[in-house]
């Protein structure tokens, strides 16, 4: 019948236009359209930064006698790192202890003199003058003792500073100094760094048009979830929460800086590492999504082809709202579950017959030994 129609059209010098039932079906693949709540996903490139980096410096002068850690080691707050030679400060402390003993004895004697002259102050002008002098000597002796006690406290602090400990939990960097090096407080030489690894931050920037949705989501108790995926293949994304929104929009780039905090006990995120960030500040209710490959562009705008149950391709105009991974969020007359042509959409026209040939999963062959 098809051949007869073609021959008749050629004899009558008419354009060959066959009805849908007479056309040869075009093989296509389809995927169903989805209608429902769709999370608004904002993608950005981020940089992993530590919450804090502590620089290790000495507070006293001395020679390094021991190094208790190695480069790249994880340390905890209060853990010993370096030991400096503290013999000078210990000798100074012993000297001050002896001075304090002498000053306390002197303070006791002058206090006793002040009590003794107090009983004689009414016997004449000389007795009153001697009493006032005894009081002054007692007060000066007590002040000298307190000053020596303060010097001793400072010396004990210097002895404590000779034991350099970690001031934060984190990972040690390079240690440029070794046993035998002499370090000075005035030189402010860094003995190393401690980088906090858990928790850790990721900073990134998003276009300012997302600011209203982000501010509205931050007001909710659950906050805004953020995912960070390193560039390495096969590594699972880390999930955190948005903790910081900059106070101003960058007028040069039209973006706003954000930061998210992540638990990083497994060390999946590394300071200085570039990651792909996914931020979900809101959800679109009743959003229509189709595969991105199904959306085409023509003279009248964007459209998709829908395969009817009768096997006929129908053109549906759509408006592209945004793209999210391999799905396109569109606005148009597309129902939930309708089959949208993905592969082969460039070969079909409105009203053409199409044959759905979705690939079937290949059955696994099980080899039998023996």
Rounded Cα–Cα distance for residues 324 and 39 (Å): 9
Least confident of 19-23, 38-42, 162-166, 327-331: 19-23
Helix (H) or strand (E) holding 64: strand 62-67
Mean pLDDT value across residues 301-321:
89
Indicate the pLDDT class of residue 97, thresholds 50, 70 and 90: very high
Q: In sequence order, what DSSP letters do the residues of 203-238 get, joined into one string? A: EEEEEGGGHHHHHHHHTSTT--EEEEEESSTTPPPE
- 369: Cβ contacts below 8 Å, ≥ 6 apart: none
pLDDT value of position 182: 93
pLDDT value of position 277: 93
Nearest residue to 60 via CA among 27, 90, 19: 90
Residue 253 has pLDDT above 50, yes or no: yes
CA 265 from chain centre, in angstroms, equals 13
> CA-based diameter of the chain, in Å?
155
Q: 316-367, pLDDT tens digit by residue? A: 999 888 887 788 888 888 888 889 989 888 888 888 888 888 655 545 454 4
């Amino acid at each position: 019948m098809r051949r007869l129609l073609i021959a008749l059209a050629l004899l009558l010098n008419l354009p060959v236009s066959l009805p849908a039932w007479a056309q040869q079906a075009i093989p296509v693949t389809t995927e169903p359209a989805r209608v429902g709540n769709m999370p608004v996903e904002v993608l950005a490139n981020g940089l992993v930064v530590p919450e804090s980096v502590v620089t290790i410096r000495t507070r006293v002068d001395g020679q390094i006698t021991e190094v208790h850690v190695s480069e790249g080691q994880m340390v905890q707050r209060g853990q010993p790192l370096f030991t400096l030679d503290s013999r000078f400060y210990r000798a100074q402390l012993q000297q001050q202890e002896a001075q304090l003993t002498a000053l306390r004895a002197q303070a006791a004697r002058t206090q006793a003199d002040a009590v003794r002259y107090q009983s004689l102050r009414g016997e004449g002008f000389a007795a009153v003058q001697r009493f006032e002098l005894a009081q002054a000597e007692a007060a000066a002796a007590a002040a000298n003792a307190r000053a020596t006690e303060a010097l001793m406290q400072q010396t004990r602090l210097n002895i404590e500073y000779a034991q350099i400990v970690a001031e934060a939990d984190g990972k040690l960097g390079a240690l440029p100094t070794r046993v035998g090096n002499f370090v000075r407080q005035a030189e402010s030489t860094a003995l190393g760094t401690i980088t906090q690894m858990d928790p850790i931050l990721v900073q990134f920037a998003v276009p300012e048009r997302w600011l209203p949705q982000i501010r509205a989501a931050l007001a909710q108790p659950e906050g805004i979830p953020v995912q960070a995926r390193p560039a390495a293949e096969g590594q699972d994304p880390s999930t955190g929460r948005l903790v910081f929104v900059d106070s101003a929009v960058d007028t040069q780039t039209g973006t706003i800086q954000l930061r998210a905090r992540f638990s990083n006990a497994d060390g999946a995120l590394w300071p200085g590492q570039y990651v792909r960030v996914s931020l979900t500040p809101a959800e679109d209710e009743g959003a229509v999504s189709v595969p991105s490959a199904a959306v085409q562009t023509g003279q009248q705008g964007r459209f998709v082809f829908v395969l009817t149950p009768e096997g006929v391709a129908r053109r549906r105009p759509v408006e592209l709202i945004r793209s999210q991974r391999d799905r396109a969020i569109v606005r148009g007359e597309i129902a939930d579950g309708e089959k949208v042509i993905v592969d082969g959409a460039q070969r079909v026209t409105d009203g053409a017959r199409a044959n759905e040939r979705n690939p079937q999963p290949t059955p696994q062959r099980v080899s039998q030994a023996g």
